[in-house]
Amino acid sequence: MSLDLAFRRLRLAFAWVVMAVLAAPALAAGTTLRAGDLMFSAFNADEDGWSLVALVDLAPGIELYFSDNAWDGKAFTSGEGFLRWTSGDSAIAAGTWLRFMNIDSASRLAASNGRLERLNIPGSTLPNLSQSAETLYAYQGSDALTPQRFVAAIGNGDFAAEVGGLGGTGLTAGRTALALPSGSDWAEYAGPRAPRVAGGEAQSRLGSVGLWQSTVDGDLGARMPNALPLDVTPIPEPWAPLTALLGLVLLAVHRIAGSRSARKPGPYGSLLWGQRLGSVTKPF
């Protein structure tokens, strides 16, 4: 096999690899979430509701589970509730505030986008947020009892094991999980929403309790969260650096092979691949 032919085959192989990597996000983007792709942005134990903000662009049809049952590191305990949210038929842009309300009422629970429903799992009830010793999880999985990817958590019990810890979740307090002051009845992110920031920086801000305001007294059931969008550049997909690297390798192989072809005379003279001579094009 000639060296030129080997270069051509290598270039073709890299082209296929790059196309496969570029095609993967198109198939999975927005449906499989990572820790911190959605972050809690409000909590209301009087209304029994909360808000999340998207830090990535969400594709239609995403599924997310919520539970206020305690997580013991391996499984959920029983006695509290499970909900399932389906995002709907429209994409959701990064920076959008998503509100979930009246989750303690089977007839009134609702979401600002998509569909929210209670799951009738034996031993569970409707979720009911508490002013203290509470942890709320957002996660994805094959079903509500089988978490595979924890996306975010919020609580006012310092994530103590007995009220719901972070062991085995992959979440980090102060980054992808927010520990509110003990006794927080209502709390909301009060940090900047503009000018535009990168998704990773927005994640750090939303995970910083110092940028939240909270209240421990009063009836705040009717208090509406601030739904002003966050001006954010979406968190990049984890394969983005690999895609860029493969592109650079492909470009290097292309240039080396093209340089060799340009220097080596052939039946049509010293031509670059694909360069025309009269009405004849040199084949690959």
| Per-residue pLDDT of the chain in tens (284 residues, 90 and over written 9) | 565 655 566 566 555 545 544 444 433 345 899 999 999 999 999 999 999 999 999 999 999 999 999 999 999 999 999 999 999 899 999 999 999 999 999 899 999 999 999 999 999 998 999 988 999 999 999 999 999 999 999 999 999 999 999 999 999 999 999 999 999 999 999 999 999 999 999 999 999 999 999 998 778 888 889 999 999 999 886 644 443 444 454 455 445 555 555 455 554 444 443 444 344 444 43
How far apart CA 227 and CA 248 sit, in angstroms, is 42
Query: Which amino acid, one-letter code, is at 267?
Result: P
Q: What does the pLDDT read at residue 218?
A: 76
Q: What is the pTM of this model?
A: 0.76
Q: What does the pLDDT read at residue 179?
A: 96
Q: What does the pLDDT read at residue 6?
A: 57
Helix 240-263, helix 3-28: angle, nearest 10: 160
Task: Give 241-247's long-range contacts (Cβ < 8 A, gap of 24+).
Answer: 242/21, 243/18, 243/21, 243/22, 246/14, 246/17, 246/18, 246/21, 247/18
Residues 6+ apart with CB under 8 A from 91: 30, 57, 58, 59, 60
Side-chain half-sphere CA neighbours of 113 within 13 A? 23
Q: What does the pLDDT read at residue 271?
A: 40
Residues 6+ apart with CB under 8 A from 205: 189, 191, 192, 197, 211
Q: What does the pLDDT read at residue 279?
A: 45
| Contact between 96 and 109 (Cβ < 8 Å) | no
| Contact between 43 and 154 (Cβ < 8 Å) | yes
Q: What does the pLDDT read at residue 220?
A: 81
